Structure 1
Amino acid sequence: MAKHLPAQTPPVRVIHYVDPATRTGADLRNVPPAVLALALADAMGRQHRQRLDRREQYAAWQRRQDEIRRHDRKVRRVLIVAVPTTLGLLAAGGWLLAEMTVAAISTGAVLGAAGVLVVLAALVGTVGRRCITVVQHWHE
């Protein structure tokens, strides 16, 4: 099989020879020392400003990282307290519901407790869910 498709042309290799007679202004021997000193001072000033900008950006980045770490610590503290507390309350509620069901001999109390369990299960099932809408396009 050929390297190039028939519709393509092979790449052209361009060779460029620099003619020393056509160089304009690139010779530093023709530039006055005052202009060279001004250009050098300008370049050094630009480098200094860039260095300062980079330092400021890095300091801002570090401050932002510190804020993120501080926020993460606060969230972890809340979660460390909230999760066991929530689990304990759920366990206590379940135990209380079981005790009420066992203690209540009447059918109405058992049905009421079952209804409460169904409502709690429905509430727990809906917490934290998000609706995801998917739009699809078909051609038949």
Structure 2
Amino acid sequence: MKNKTCFIVILFLSSSLLSTSVKSHDPTNLFVVWVSYGEDLRQLHHIQVDHEVDDPTTHYINLIEIYRNKSLEVSKTYTNQTNNECQYDATIDFVRSDYDRIKVIAYCNQGGSIKFEDWEKTDALSLLPVFATIIALAILIRKREVIK
């Protein structure tokens, strides 16, 4: 019985030492580069996803999605990564307005993702109701002070 227990312990220790763990990780940076294309329009020049891997044929960025105003516009899949350091793509044909809300998500085939959001001029427009409410309240308070 003692030999059997010793054998099991040695077997367990040797298997844990010999096993290699593969750990997926999130991509580190996502660069989305635009060029001007007319008034308030921009053409996508390229997307670069920094994602360091040992073997870009087995561990890579497998999907890039581009959303315009919360609607999926582009979904591009990949079967390997450009190189050991990043996924680079200058072939996606996409034109956007400065007023579009853009979200780009890149996914690793072994888990993990990174997101880029570009709201441009829409941020100021989304604050318009807040400012209108503040101004209306200020006017009402002032009128009450004048009446007193």
Q: Between Structure 1 and Structure 2, which shows a larger proportion of helix residues?
A: 1
Query: Relative contact order, CA 8 A, sep 6+: which one is greater?
Result: 2
**TM-score, length of structure 2 as denominator length:** 0.26
Q: Which has the larger radius of gyration?
A: 1
